[in-house]
Amino acid sequence: MLQVKNLYKVFNKNTVNENEIFNKFNLKVNKGDFITIIGSNGAGKSTLLNIISGTIPVDEGAIMLGENEISKFAEHKCNKFIGRVFQDPSKGTSPSMTILENMSMAYNKGKKFGLGFGVNKKKISYFKELLSKLELGLEDKLNTQVGLLSGGQRQALTLIMTAMSNPELLLLDEHTAALDPKTSEKIIELTKDIVDEKGITTLMVTHNLNHAIKLGNRLIMLHHGEVILDISGKEKESLTIEKLLKLFESNKKEDLISDRGLFAS
């Protein structure tokens, strides 16, 4: 479904600040996979999502999504196939527009429409039905500007809007990191429900080991641009934080062991 082939990426090439992130990196993602991605700071997690989404161009290699080599596409063209939720709740919505206007734009993503077609009043009941599942009272605030919502409300709205467009691939970049623990758990449950219901192929970057273990059918760990752990199936189902940390420590990379404290539990 998604293949990253011989990816090479370096920043500040031929300078004293040269930073090679990936060198012949490969990753195969099957249709319907929900992969949680963990790793220390600088491991390449967010960079990988940025490259897949077209935000950062590849230096060498290819990114294939189905039959499309999306590494040759501009970011706006990648957005036709990919949905993304960022760490910052403000990035997924337009703060000056109302909830209704934001949802209408999301619903019409990829469709041709004029200015008069932007807000479809016939979809109001559908939007209210979706929002009511959040149990945040947003179904009664359709005419409220999104900029007046809390971070958790905005992130929940972003998830709903992203899923409405039925993307082929969903990228979640630490999308609960900026939220308080209670709201974070609410968003995680919403994420699980949406992905399970729609069967969306998903990559989720997280520093939270509980979330990495709890969600998805596969877990990978990146370190200095390499996959050093790839766990799925029954091994993933029986995984605990203690087992995962032992797998970290069994890796002979000394700097990896020292990074253990970077992961939240």
Mean pLDDT, the chain, rounded, equals: 89
Structure tokens at 241: 């934080």
Confidence of residue 113 (pLDDT cuts 50, 70, 90): low
pLDDT digits (tens, 9 = 90+) for 214-248: 999 999 999 999 999 999 999 999 999 999 888 87
Residue 247's pLDDT is 83
pLDDT digits (tens, 9 = 90+) for 177-188: 999 998 999 999
- What does 165-220 look like in DSSP terms, one character per residue? T--SEEEEESTTTTS-HHHHHHHHHHHHHHHHHHT-EEEEE-SBHHHHHHSSSEEE
Confidence of residue 67 (pLDDT cuts 50, 70, 90): very high
Domains along the chain? 2-93+149-262 (3.40.50.300)
Lowest mean pLDDT among 35-39, 85-89, 230-234, 247-251: 247-251
Interval 194-200 mean pLDDT: 95
Q: List 229's β-bridge partners, or say none.
A: 221
Q: Enter the pTM of the model.
A: 0.91
